[in-house]
Amino acid sequence: MAIISFGEALIDLLPADNDSSHCVKCAGGAPANVAVGVAKLGQKSVFIGTLSSDAMGRLLTTELQAVGVELAYSPISSHSTALVLVSLDYYGERSFQFYRHNTADLDFTTKSITAYPFTTGDIIHLCSNTSTLPANHNATLLGLMAIQKTGTLISLDVNLRENLWPAEQVQYLPERVGDLMILADILKFSKEEYAHLETVIPNFTTIINDNIANGAVILITDGANPITVMNRSVDNLQITPFMPQKVVDTTGAGDGFISGFLSYCSMHKITSTQSFDADTLFKAVKFASQIGAKTCEKKGAFNALPHLSEL
């Protein structure tokens, strides 16, 4: 089984420990974080996303390869690497300012996505940030529909970042996120994302109910509060998450969680969401929450994601 992460790899600019007026560059991007998390947990990890030939792009390439992420299907572009200025409050919670115009991560087509030889048992993971532009959204949808026919599971972490969308495209966010949700076998939200989308996607409840009827797993995280799990085998199962020993930086915590969940599927040869029962879901989510909690104990994302030996 391979876990293939598709989407953006970028550079997070985090405040330095001893001087918040200075920044430290850290490799990041939600799908790239998941690729690293999966690799550190000892599973086959592939990243599909266009990387830049600039200095930041070379840094991303080096750090992804250092933990064993396969990059054979990630082309190199002359476009620059996207940057994110991350601000942290007293509790380690983040706010973001994105610099992502005509960057390398947006330089992809349907052919880019489907170049990997997907097969039954594989999982492709993505976020909604590949849909910020019409051409990218169409390429993503066509790619996912082709991949779905191979028996590959589709994992979607909604990961809403409205300030990453161009102003003239934000109005299309509900429709495009809804398009992606329909195709997902594993669907993750934060509690805030779920509540927001419930109000802006007209057929949101229908999509969720159809997903569940088709065997999909719905995961809703809420910080330190219980995780909600919905599936045909459970009805709003509430699972208490692991807690970090000390919260340093919550960047990548959600990516750590989903990398843990997908890795659990790989470790236990779960090739279909039909395989989940209440006990299996409970164990998978508890494992995932432990990865998410550990990720909060260090600054950054790639660096903070734990190895299996650290658990």
pLDDT band, residue 103 (cuts 50/70/90): very high
Average model confidence (pLDDT) for the chain?
93
pLDDT at residue 19 in the model:
67
pLDDT band, residue 199 (cuts 50/70/90): very high
Cα angle 229, 235, 237 (rounded to 5 degrees) comes to: 40
More confident residue, 119 or 275: 119
Longest dimension (CA), the chain: 51
Structure tokens at 252: 């990548």
Q: Is the pLDDT of residue 217 over 90?
A: yes
Quote the pTM value: 0.94
pLDDT at residue 129 in the model:
94
pLDDT at residue 96 in the model:
78
The CATH homologous superfamily to which domain 2-8+29-79+105-310 belongs is Ribokinase (3.40.1190.20)
Helix/strand/coil for 245 = coil
Query: Left if phi > 0, otherwise alpha if psi is -120 to 50, otherwise beta: which for 275?
Result: alpha
Q: Is the pLDDT of residue 220 over 80?
A: yes
More confident residue, 126 or 236: 126
CA–CA separation, 289 vs 302, rounded Å? 17
In a 13 Å sphere around the CA of 249, the CA atoms on its Cβ side amount to 22
User: What pLDDT digit, counting tens, does each position of 76-92 carry?
Assistant: 999 999 998 877 776 66
User: What pLDDT digit, counting tens, does each position of 275-295 carry?
Assistant: 899 999 999 999 999 999 999
According to DSSP, the β-strands at 44-48 and 2-6 are parallel
pLDDT at residue 85 in the model:
87
User: What pLDDT digit, counting tens, does each position of 127-150 carry?
Assistant: 999 999 999 999 999 999 999 999
pLDDT at residue 98 in the model:
86
CA–CA separation, 29 vs 32, rounded Å? 5
pLDDT at residue 92 in the model:
61
Question: What is the H or E stretch that residue 220 is in?
Answer: strand 217-222
- List the 83-88 sheet strands across, edge first: 23-28, 10-15, 83-88, 94-99
Q: Is the pLDDT of residue 106 over 90?
A: yes
Q: Is the pLDDT of residue 17 over 90?
A: no
Q: What is the DSSP letter of 70?
A: B
Percent of the chain with pLDDT over 70: 97
75, with CB counted inside 10 A (0-12, 13-18, 19+), is middle
CA–CA separation, 12 vs 27, rounded Å? 6
Q: What is the DSSP letter of 297?
A: T
